[in-house]
Amino acid sequence: MTIKLGVPSKGRLMDKTFEWFANHGITLRQTGAEREYSGAVDGIDGVELVLLSASEIPRELAAGRIHLGVTGSDLVRDKLNQWDAKVVEVAPMGFGHADLIIAVPKAWVDVDTLDDLDAAAAAFRAHHGFRLRIATKYHHLVREFLKAHGVADYQLVDSQGATEGTVKNLTAEAVADITSTGETLRANHLKILNCEPVHKSQATLFKSRTADWSDADRAAMSVFKNMLQVGD
């Protein structure tokens, strides 16, 4: 058997992942045509490259179909129930930084904190007869964050597209989304609440706890860790 390493299949995340491994003496490369999701690993024996979308990698790690994977720490924590029982962080990679934040319309001049949001949500429900809607892709992380901070009388609505546009389109009253600069939020007349981010995300190398690790795989993993200079 060989270690299966899952990495993002396209875009800046793939390029930065390839660059990060190259800086550690391991060369990842695509094989075949540009749109053909196949690749190879040079510089270490016993490792197979698997190209996947970043959103697929948490699921594949949890299922044990890949041994190692590179994806956003936000995706692992949101998509995997009890994520730390299924995967373990091997190394933060120092790119792909983004904050998962909560934002409301700029016109809400009296809503700047989570306490303000809680009060606004209660007033919204009393006036409209239904809970204030927060559009997000990150249901688990946002729900746990709001619960920890005592915010109630809201509902999460799923957004798989342009989350920032849901307020303008009247399908939500607030949003919880990933941002790195805040420019898209400002362009849509939204402001970030004055509180800590729901999660500070970055690209991270994860190891599956459920994959089949044979003796040969473990030997390759030991070499792999020595090359990357990371711990267990």
* The one-letter amino acid at 125: R
Q: Is 144 helix (H, G, I), strand (E, B) or coil?
A: helix
Phi then psi dihedrals of residue 56, to 5 deg: -80, -25
Tokens of 156: 């999460």
- 178: helix, coil or strand? strand
pLDDT one digit per residue (tens) for the chain, 232 residues: 689 999 999 889 999 999 999 998 899 988 765 555 668 888 888 889 999 999 999 999 999 999 999 999 999 999 999 999 999 999 999 999 999 999 999 999 999 999 999 999 999 999 999 999 999 999 999 999 999 999 999 999 998 778 989 999 999 999 999 998 889 899 999 999 999 999 999 999 999 999 998 887 888 788 777 777 775 5
Asked if residues 95 and 203 have their Cβ atoms less than 8 Å apart, the reply is: yes
Question: Residue 193: its pLDDT value, please?
Answer: 97
Q: What is the pLDDT of residue 45?
A: 83
Residue 60: per-residue pLDDT: 97
Give the C-alpha separation, 74 to 134, whole Å: 18
Contact 176, 102 (CB under 8 A): yes
CB 80 within 8 A of CB 209: no
Whole-structure pTM value: 0.87
CA distance 179 to 70: 19
pLDDT at 228 (0 to 100): 77
pLDDT at 20: 95
DSSP 198: S
Neighbouring C-beta atoms of residue 88, cutoff 10 Å: 13
Sole residue written with tokens 């711990």: 231
